[in-house]
Structure 1
């Protein structure tokens, strides 16, 4: 497999201070961030487009609030919870965008940014595997993007959720690979 850099983007979901530590199974947050950093640097070195997606809110009212069976947290967000982890935020040549829900396409300019650059393939990673990454992947699939899922640059609340999505959902809508494999395809 070979990835054409001019038609491929790296999209990393919610690798931010307030989320990565709670959604990293089966890998440690440090391992996910380290491998994500290697991917970002490899993409930037080859002239690739890198999107760091974060979830944030102005006052909580700009986020979704549907009626659900599971009670939603009303805790205040601590300062800096929505900042991309410093190990990635300090790498030059990346585009950071903000979303207000699980998926990175709805209500954002992600699709426009990708299409204007001629992107056909998304290399996707981040947290949580079964929430933000999965929702973004399904949106990308419906928009017609090819996808490569970087399994060892993802994490979930638990190993079972991560494994289920990586073994059951992602193979139906793209290709599942390791970060080392993806770097070798560049």
Structure 2
């Protein structure tokens, strides 16, 4: 059963992961990239209006570390991504005053000033979404959980490379780390 909850916008940040040209257009499931972006913009607009912090995280694709692994995320002979691939899509509606964090790995905390920026603003709650559920979003969630942030996961503002990957994370992991809600439920919780 879903617990009732509310959000204090003055202590809350929306953190959206990798809504950028090189990622949003990929085949995603269960939600398409444009649907995720649309919901992210709705959340950002509503939360910004109530005084919450808005954070857009992007990965610098040409600086992303690809260690040796059984399955490579990138072909060894792949050409560099165009510069635009690492830029946030304009449909997010990034505004002056929003934070933009650039990362070089899956998670948004390691090697960035994200924690410092959140702590100096008195943030203790993160509303989290983006692409991909079980890569950048989950890595960021685990680091936030380890740092004792309260977490709210926005299911319809998050997607992955395959529906089963998304569903597993949202059904078997995120409910143990925080609250799983829809875009509308998060907006309603702002009061």
TM-score bin, normalised by smaller chain = over 0.9
Counterpart-to-counterpart distance in 1, 2:84 and 2:99:
19
Give the alignment's Cα RMSD to 1 decimal.
1.4
Q: Which of these residues, 19, 23, 35, is aligned with residue 19 of structure 1?
A: 23
Q: Taking structure 1 as the reference length, what is the TM-score of the superposition?
A: 0.93
Q: CA deviation at 1:90?
A: 4.2
Deviations 1:16-55 (A, max 9, x none): 1110122531112221111111000011111110000000
The question of whether the paired residues in 2 share the 8 Å contact of 1:23 and 1:128 is answered with: no
Q: Taking structure 2 as the reference length, what is the TM-score of the superposition?
A: 0.91
Counterpart-to-counterpart distance in 2, 1:45 and 1:99:
27
Counterpart-to-counterpart distance in 2, 1:66 and 1:90:
32
Instruction: Give 1:76's aligned residue.
Output: 80
Instruction: Give 1:64's aligned residue.
Output: 65
Counterpart-to-counterpart distance in 2, 1:90 and 1:69:
37
- How many residue pairs were aligned? 183
Instruction: Give 2:143's aligned residue.
Output: 139
Q: Identify if the C-alpha distance between structure 1 residues 63 and 35 changes in structure 2 by more than 3 Å, giving closer, same or farther.
A: closer
Q: CA deviation at 1:167?
A: 0.5
> Which segments of 5 or more consecutive residues in structure 2 lack a partner in the other structure?
none
Q: CA deviation at 1:63?
A: 3.2
Counterpart-to-counterpart distance in 2, 1:147 and 1:185:
13
User: Which runs of 4 or more aligned residues in structure 1 lie more than 4 Å from their structure 2 counterparts after TM superposition?
Assistant: none
> Which segments of 5 or more consecutive residues in structure 1 lack a partner in the other structure?
none
Q: Which of these residues, 41, 44, 49, is aligned with residue 45 of structure 1?
A: 49
Counterpart-to-counterpart distance in 2, 1:137 and 1:90:
22
Counterpart-to-counterpart distance in 1, 2:14 and 2:128:
6
Deviations 1:33-86 (A, max 9, x none): 1111100001111111000000015xx4x4323221123333320230011110
Counterpart-to-counterpart distance in 2, 1:28 and 1:9:
24
Q: CA deviation at 1:94?
A: 1.3
